[in-house]
């Protein structure tokens, strides 16, 4: 992460990625995305790469991949499909 890159709270991240906050929370719960950082007050913060990853997840899911298969692809290190 670049030093000057701005981190976003979960609501703003979800909005920029075009999903609901609940969907982002679900993606976190099932291991599709991880917070970039956690603040001192335990707020999860995300960067622009996370937004792009969420957009990729949405695109793959829309094309027929179930979330479980997408997660497996990511776990295998195939993030740059």
Q: What is the 3-state secondary structure (H, E, C) of 34-62?
A: CCCEECCCCCEEECHHHHHHHHHHHHHHH
pTM: 0.83
Decide: helix, strand or coil at residue 76: coil
Summarised one tens digit per residue, pLDDT across range 44-78 is 999 999 999 999 999 999 999 999 999 998 888 75
User: How is the chain split into domains, by residue range?
Assistant: 10-75
Confidence at residue 4, expressed as pLDDT on a 0 to 100 scale:
54
Question: 10-75 sits in which CATH class?
Answer: mainly alpha
Decide: helix, strand or coil at residue 30: helix
Confidence at residue 40, expressed as pLDDT on a 0 to 100 scale:
95
């Amino acid at each position: 992460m670049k030093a000057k890159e701005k981190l976003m709270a979960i609501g703003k991240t979800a909005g920029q990625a075009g999903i609901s906050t609940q969907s982002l929370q679900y993606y976190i719960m099932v291991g599709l995305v991880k917070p970039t950082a956690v603040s001192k007050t335990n707020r999860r913060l995300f960067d622009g790469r996370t937004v792009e990853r969420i957009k990729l997840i949405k695109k793959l899911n829309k094309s027929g991949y179930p979330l479980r298969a997408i997660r497996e692809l990511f776990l295998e290190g195939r993030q740059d499909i």
